[in-house]
Amino acid sequence: KIWLNMARQRRDIVLNGQADLQKKQLSLNLGVKRFNPNLMVGKVDWPVVSGNVNIAADSSQIKLNSSVNLTDQGFGSFDGNILLTMQHEFDKDSTKIELKTNRLSYNYEPLDVEITIQGNSDSLHTQRFSINNEIGVDAYFKRNDSLQYYVQVAAEKIDITDYLRYFMKSYQLRDFSGTSDFQLTVSNQDTTRVTGTIAAKNLSYSNIAPLEFLCKFNGDFNQVDFEKFQLQQPQKEPLQLQAHLKFSPLQYQISGDFQQLKIQDYWKEGNMKGAFNGRFNLQKTTDNDCLSVQLSSIDFQVGSTKLDSLYLDVVQQDSLLVINNLLAKNKKEIDFRAAGSVGYNFLRSTIYPDSSKLVLEYKGDLLRFLSKQIKLISYGKSKADFRFVFSTNEDGILLEDGFLKLEDGNMRIQNQIEQLEHVQIDLLFNENEMQIKKWQLFMGSGWLYISNQIAAERNFEIANINLGQLLLKTSPEGVLVHIPDYMPNNSVANVVVKGRNSAEFIVKGPFYDIQLQGDIYFSNGRAIYPPNSENLLKMFTQVTDIKWPSRKPQPKAKEADEAKELPFELDLMMHFTDNVRYVTYPLDLKVNPESYLHLLYEDGKFQVPEAHFISEQGSV
């Protein structure tokens, strides 16, 4: 007899056994206790292994029984129990292998695998091979002069999210839906072939409308050609694609031509519609990844903006976006063009330093265009043009040079009675900094002037572009303004804007922590307080509604319980000069000149450190 007893120093692997040479018997037991394979092969987040493997053999047969527990150490690892039994009877030349999983998971999602294989010393064939009782595998292996094999994997009407969950996080799955049938065959019985068919129905991602997908392919371990590769809206003509795939190293090409492709058929709940002609080509070679797109349309619409012509010719290389030509135009408000290159990959959302330049140019009615995009602007008309030159550096996108000019502007802001007239804007851009040469508009009775200054800190920034701090002032006549909720409907007040210790009211950034400081002088207007209250009776009713307890406690409004801190600091001195009235029925009081209110907003709280009101005229 021979006895065997071996163990690693950590005793996480122990091997015991004995052999009886006379009786031709062998017994081995491998015990594994919290064995960490990552300590041997480097950090790859393999699971920790525990369990036993028993082997028993004699002159008639050999048996193997094992129970292995896997304990997850990192994202994507297996976790659970795997049971494996193997038996080969020598006299019958019969082999049987069974594998079952118990509470096995991958990426924290249940994974059920069951395998039964039968055969002999020359061949093996699967009797049962299922994954989650949905995916079936039929496999055959035979040993002649060389190994021959046949493997087919197939499934019908499986929910794609049931399997995407093994590779994605749960919140990412919300955007996916669809079912799939597929069949994949790998065989070397005559020549090595890889063939398959994949079909999907109601396939959708995010706002993409449900599609039908079909592809058929065949090839070998070196390359695969797609005989059919198509996307289709139900009851509509399919979009036919061409595809080719190579391995070692991985290379592929997918291309397609389309005519009168309606984007609204493929994009649900969107605000785009129109028919496109064009082609695309996605290619990966050993040297480069490249996507090229050419498309055109004569009836494209985004929201309420219609384009008479749209043309795009763009190439995305590894680290360079090349726009050969981009034209978007309509007769009334848009003539937009772009050409050049910039160090950017929009597929990866990655910026690369590059000296190449991309030029954007526009001529048209910018205020009219913005009035269709921004709810705040109810009407707009202007003459505008801009030209921007972009490149990239280590800090990101660089606006090297540019200008924006707007003349003869007229616009109306929601809730404002007076129209903004004679709007003129002249902006210069250089090395990611903006300079306001002129920005002025006329509102009712006077002018509002806007300028800027670049300071050492507290500047506004948009996409690396330093807008500086904004400086506001009005002409001595002031502008006519309506303040919703604080003024009666269809009424205005004359407002003069000044600085506290300078000529300009200052607005400092950044956008998430705005700081406003200055003085405002009101005249010739009427005020309501509290806001949204037409009379004192309404205010009294609101107070009594709060004070009188009800029979059943009423839930408090969420807004009342959770005071939201506003993203700014305010230091505003409001001066009330000539002909300002406080009108909350039944009061109608005229406020004396030189009345004022000092309003602060700091640390999430409004404060009034000082105020002075006098009224000697009015009625009740």
- 3-state class of 512 per DSSP? helix
Q: What's the rounded Cα separation, in Å, for the pair 343 and 320?
A: 5
Report the amino acid identity of residue 234: P
Which DSSP category does 46 fall into?
P
Q: 76-109 burial, b for 16+ CB within 10 Å, e for fewer?
A: ebbbbebebebebeeeeeebebbbebeebbbbee
Using CB atoms within 10 A of its CB, is residue 418 exposed (0-12), middle (13-18) or buried (19+)? middle
The closest alpha carbon to 533, from 461, 583, 597, 460, belongs to 583
Tell me what the mean pLDDT of segment 234-244 comes to. 87
Quote the mean pLDDT of the chain. 88
Q: What's the rounded Cα separation, in Å, for the pair 491 and 481?
A: 8
Q: Say yes or no to pLDDT of 142 above 90.
A: yes
Q: Say yes or no to pLDDT of 546 above 70.
A: no
Q: Which residues, other chains included, contact 22 with Cβ-Cβ below 8 Å and sequence gap of 6+?
A: none
Q: What's the rounded Cα separation, in Å, for the pair 83 and 228?
A: 41
Tens digits of residue pLDDT in 297-343: 998 998 888 999 999 999 999 999 999 999 999 988 899 999 999 99
Tell me what the mean pLDDT of segment 405-434 comes to. 96
Which DSSP category does 162 fall into?
H
CB atoms within 10 A of CB 526: 19
Q: What's the rounded Cα separation, in Å, for the pair 213 and 220?
A: 23
The closest alpha carbon to 286, from 315, 253, 316, belongs to 253
Which DSSP category does 175 fall into?
G
The closest alpha carbon to 351, from 398, 387, 420, 405, belongs to 398
- The ranges assigned to domains in the chain are 1-133, 428-620
Tell me what the mean pLDDT of segment 94-99 comes to. 97
Dihedrals phi, psi of 271, to nearest 5 degrees? -115, 25
Tens digits of residue pLDDT in 145-164: 888 999 999 999 999 999 99
Tell me, what's the pLDDT at 360?
Answer: 98
Q: What's the rounded Cα separation, in Å, for the pair 33 and 71?
A: 11
Q: What's the rounded Cα separation, in Å, for the pair 123 and 235?
A: 48
Q: Which residues, other chains included, contact 400 with Cβ-Cβ below 8 Å and sequence gap of 6+?
A: 357, 389, 390, 391, 430, 431
CB 115 within 8 A of CB 129: yes
Tens digits of residue pLDDT in 270-292: 688 899 999 999 999 988 889 99
